[in-house]
Structure 1
Amino acid sequence: MNLTSLAAFEVRLDPVLDLGDSHLGRRRVINIVGGTFEGPRLSGVVLPGGADWQVLHPDGTASIDTRSTLRTHDGAHLYLSTNGIRHGSPEVIRRLNAGDPVDPAAYYFRLFCRFETGDERYRWLNRTLAVASAARTASTVRYEAYALD
């Protein structure tokens, strides 16, 4: 198995909407307002309208569940869903939640990425699993996505 670079993503986010504690944990929704992606196999823009339907667990782990729509540089539309986890020390998580800058090496933030499209030029993505290493800032998520070949 090999990892092949797909693209670097920068996703711009609205402020966190905190829905409070449920039986699963603290539910948060973070709306996606736009962004870009650039790489050897994919490039374009992240369209507004997606979100991360996140759950914070008592141990500080965040379960990530995003859905977004992408438009490639050549006009194709792609659906992207990511699922993953983010965790770190209580101090690091407190700083991330406050929007403070935190070195991505200080916490674990990994994603599974699945694409879907009807555009013939990108149908190969429908049969491709990808993984990503991510970093959170006050208003963005940045990640490098790699296809599992």
Structure 2
Amino acid sequence: MQIPVPSLAHSFTLRVDLAAPLEMGRGRAGMRRIIPITGGEALGPELTGKILNLGADWQTIFEDGAAHLDTRYAVETGDGALIEIVNVGTRHGPPDVLARLAAGEDVDPSTYYMRTAARLETGDARYGWVNHTLFVCAGIRRASAVEIAYYKVL
């Protein structure tokens, strides 16, 4: 009997609107910041709707400029379901690229690494499948938003 090899299938993409970062200062592991999540959209194909104005990304920025991403937010689907998203991962790249991202420039996403793993949860039976699905994600950082593609691990 052979162990199955996982594959990926695109499930949805989020465009997440962000407010200006709140700088907390140095913590135990690096510089800490909170970036409020103020809205956005879930663009399908399996989830569509709006991102609610109630989440944040609690980041740690390490000495080498890499960021540990730790987000929690919620999507309200077009048909009224609420889905919680907890997304944890990393963003890193060459110092000049990270400096351009920090300055709000649009940077070619092939020049840096932004990957996360997400857990979704809902009590709505129509979307109960998200409670039992692993997601891995790839993202792009924009000046006041991120775009994140969510892939189901099959």
When normalised by structure 1's length, the TM-score is: 0.98
Distance across 2 between alignment mates of 1:28 and 1:138 = 16
Which 4+ stretches in 1 moved above 4 angstroms?
Answer: none
Distance across 1 between alignment mates of 2:10 and 2:78 = 17
2:95 counterpart residue number: 90
Deviation, structure 1 residue 73: 1.1
Distance across 2 between alignment mates of 1:20 and 1:140 = 22
Q: Where do residues 1-149 of structure 1 align in structure 2 (5 Å cutoff)?
A: 1-149=6-154
> Which has the greater radius of gyration?
2
Distance across 1 between alignment mates of 2:72 and 2:37 = 9
Partner deviation per Cα, 1:8-54 (whole Å, 9 max, x = no partner): 11000001111111111100100000000112211111000100000
Structure 2, unaligned runs of 5 or more:
1-5
Partner deviation per Cα, 1:78-127 (whole Å, 9 max, x = no partner): 00010000001010111111111211111000010110111001111011
One-letter code aligned to 2:50: V
One-letter code aligned to 2:106: P
Partner deviation per Cα, 1:48-85 (whole Å, 9 max, x = no partner): 01000000011111000000011011110000010000
Distance across 2 between alignment mates of 1:19 and 1:46 = 25
Structure 1, unaligned runs of 5 or more:
none
Aligned-residue RMSD, C-alpha: 0.7
Which stretch has the larger CA shift, 16-25 or 133-142? 16-25
Give the number of equivalent residue pairs. Answer: 149
Distance across 1 between alignment mates of 2:71 and 2:27 = 19
Distance across 2 between alignment mates of 1:45 and 1:55 = 27
Distance across 2 between alignment mates of 1:126 and 1:26 = 33
One-letter code aligned to 1:48: N
Distance across 1 between alignment mates of 2:38 and 2:28 = 29
